[in-house]
A and B are shown apart, each in its own frame.
Chain A
C-alpha cells in the first residue's frame, strides 16, 4: 500500500512539475500512436468496408478467419518481424528505420491495421443487408453505397478506432524491440515503465502508468464526444 500511495503522490508531482523529459516521452508516445492509428484507419476502414459489403467474395471463408487472427497478433511477434525486416541484415535495412520512431510507427501500424479492418468489416456487416440492395436499385454508385453504409455503421467504426488506439498506446513489446527505448529518441511511456520497474523505482513506474491511463482516458473522452455527436449512445 505504501508504494501505491507514493505512486499517486509521484504521479501528481510529475504532472505538476511538467518536467521536460516527461513531456518528451508523452509527446513521442502520442506521436507514434496517432500516426500509426491514422495510417491504419486510412487503409483499414475502406478495405474493411469493401470486404464487409462483398458478402459473396470468393475465398471469404478463408479471409475472414485470417483477419480475425490478425486482430490478435502478439505485439512482440510483430516487433520481432519488424526488427528482422529493418535490421541491417534484413530486406529493408537500407531505410535506416531500426531504432527510430519511424520503425515504431511501422510496427504499431501492423498491429492496429487488422483490428481496424476486422471491426470495420463487422460493423458494416451489421447494417441491414437490404440497405445496399435498395440503394443500388435507386441508382446509387458503389462508392455512394459504401459511404452510406459506413455512416450507418459509424458507432461500430468508432469502436474500431478506440480498440486500435487502446491496443497500440498500451503496447510495449514491439516498440521496445524496434525502438530500443533510447532516452530522448525512442523512449515512450510503456518502455519507460518497464525500465523504471527494472530499476526498482516502482513508485515512479506506477506514476508513469497512471499518466498513461490518464492519457488514454482523455483521448477516449474525445472519441466518445465524437460518437455522441454522431447520435450514438
Chain B
C-alpha cells in the first residue's frame, strides 16, 4: 500500500502547486461570447495584446448567444460579445448591461449540397432560397439552439412566410453548434444557414457543401438581411462582483482603431479574406 499513498501525496502536492500559481495580481475579465468568435480563432489572435496592455487575463466562455446573455443577466460574466441585435437591445433596456457598442460584422450565407436539389444556387435573397427548400422539401439543417444564427434563420423563414415544422421529414432541428451542424449537412446533403467565417474555417472538411446564396465574399452578398453585426456590452456593475473597470477598458480597447485593425486583418492570410469586418464608431470615423 505504501507506494500508493506516496503517489496520492505527490499528485495532491502537484495539484496544489498548480492552483497556487493563479494567485498573482493579474486581474481577470470574464467574457461571455458566442462560439463563432472563439471557434474562428479570432479571440486567440487579438486578446493577447489586451492582456499584455492591461496586465489582465481574459477568461472566454464561448456559448450560444442565449446562454451568453443569460450569463450576463446572472452576473456570471463581466462583459458580453454577441450577435443578436434585438436581444442585445433588450438586455440593455432591462438594465442588465450599461450600453451596447458596435464592434464588427460579417455575413451569413446559405450553403448546400453540390447537387443543389432545390436549384437555389445564385438566388440573390435568402428568403427566396428558403422558399425553394420548402417547396422541394429538400433537407434543411437548423441550429435549433436559440443562437444568434438560429434567430437569423427564423427571421428568414418568417420573411418567406413559412413556418418550418421540426417534425416534418425535411426540416431537422439539431440543437448543436455551427461546426457540428455543418458536419451534419456535409454528411447528409442538407442545406443550412451559416456565418461565412465558420464555413470558411471548416471548408476543408466539407467537400460536399458549397455556398448557394451569398457569393464568394461579403462584397458579392446582395441580401442586406444576411449582415451579421456583433455588439459588445459591459454587464451592469449593480450585479456585484463585476470587474466593471476592466470591462469598460475592454470595450474601449476592442472598439479602438488599433484593435479594429487587428480584427480586419485576421484570417486574410489563411482564407484570402477577413472573417470579421471592423465596424466600431471610432473605426468608421477614423
With beta carbons under 8 angstroms apart, the residue of A182, A191, A197 that contacts B173 is: A182
Contacts of B167 in A (CB 8 A): 183-184
The answer to whether A180 and B174 have CB atoms under 8 Å apart is yes
List CB contacts (< 8 Å) of B187-243 with chain A: 187-188, 208
Name the residue of chain A whose CB is nearest to the CB of B64. A198
CB of A98, distance to nearest CB on chain B (Å): 6
**Cα of A173 to Cα of B42 in the assembled complex, Å:** 26
Contact B67 A181 (CB under 8 A): no
Are A183 and B173 within 8 A (Cβ)?
yes
- Chain B residues with CB under 8 Å of A192's CB are 175
Q: If the complex has contacts A88-B187, A180-B180, are A195 and B66 also in contact, measured as CB distance less than 8 A?
A: no
Q: A87-B187, A198-B145, A199-B146 are in contact. Are A183 and B67 (CB under 8 A)?
A: no
Q: In this assembly, does A128 line the interface, its C-beta being within 8 Å of a C-beta of chain B?
A: no
Shortest distance between the CB of B60 and any CB in chain A (Å):
15
How far is it, in angstroms, between the C-alpha of A98 and the C-alpha of B145 when the chains are bound?
21
The one of A180, A183, A184, A191 that contacts B184, using a Cβ cutoff of 8 Å = A180
Q: Which residues of A are at the interface with B, using a C-beta cutoff of 8 A?
A: 87-88, 98-99, 176-177, 180-185, 187, 191-192, 195, 197-202
Beta-carbon contact of B172 and A182 below 8 Å: yes
- Specify which chain B residues have a CB less than 8 angstroms from the CB of A181 in the assembled complex: 174-176
Q: For the side of the interface on B, what is the size category?
A: 20 to 34
Give the residue name and chain of the B residue nearest to A187 (CB): B175
B274 within 8 A of partner (CB): no
The CA-CA distance from A157 to B145 in the complex, in Å, is 41
Report yes or no: A200 in contact with B146, Cβ–Cβ below 8 A.
yes
Q: Give the distance in Å from the alpha carbon of A109 to the alpha carbon of B188 in the complex.
A: 24
The reply to whether A198 and B66 form a contact with Cβ atoms under 8 Å apart is: yes
CA of A183 to CA of B184, assembled, Å? 14
Residue-wise interface mask of B (51-88) relative to A, using a CB-CB cutoff of 8 A (1 in contact, 0 not): 00000000000011011111100000000000000000
Q: Which residues of A contact B67 (CB under 8 A)?
A: 197-200
> Digit string of B164-184 for contact with A (CB within 8 Å is 1, else 0)?
001100001111100010001
What are 25 A-B interface contacts by the 8 Å CB criterion? A88-B208, A99-B188, A176-B176, A177-B180, A180-B174, A180-B176, A180-B184, A181-B174, A182-B174, A183-B167, A183-B173, A184-B166, A185-B172, A191-B175, A197-B67, A198-B66, A198-B146, A199-B64, A199-B67, A199-B145, A200-B66, A200-B67, A200-B68, A200-B71, A202-B70
A83 to chain B, nearest CB (A): 9
Q: Which of B68, B146, B175 contacts A183 (CB 8 A)?
A: B175
In the complex, what residues of A have CB within 8 A of residue B172's CB?
Answer: 180, 182-183, 185
Cα distance, A198 to B144, chains bound together (Å): 11
The 3 lowest CB-CB distance pairs between A and B, nearest first, are A200-B70, A183-B173, A195-B175
Partner among A98, A182, A185, A191 whose Cβ is within 8 Å of the Cβ of B187 = A98
Q: Name the residue on A nearest B186 (C-beta).
A: A88
In the complex, what residues of A have CB within 8 A of residue B166's CB?
183-184
Q: How far is the CA of A198 from the CA of B173 in the complex (A)?
A: 15
| A197 vs B71: C-alpha distance when bound (angstroms) | 11
> What residues on A are CB-neighbors of B208 within 8 Å?
88
A192 and B174 alpha carbons, distance in the complex (Å): 10
Bound Cα distance from A68 to B208, whole angstroms: 40
In the bound complex, residues from chain B placing their C-beta under 8 Å from that of A184 are: 166-167, 173
Residues of B near A191 (CB, < 8 A) are 175
Q: Output the least CB separation between A229 and chain B (Å).
A: 38
Bound-state CA distance A185–B144 (Å) is 13
Smallest CB–CB gap between B209 and chain A, Å? Answer: 12
A219 to B265, CA, bound (A): 56
CA distance A198 to B145 in the complex (A): 7
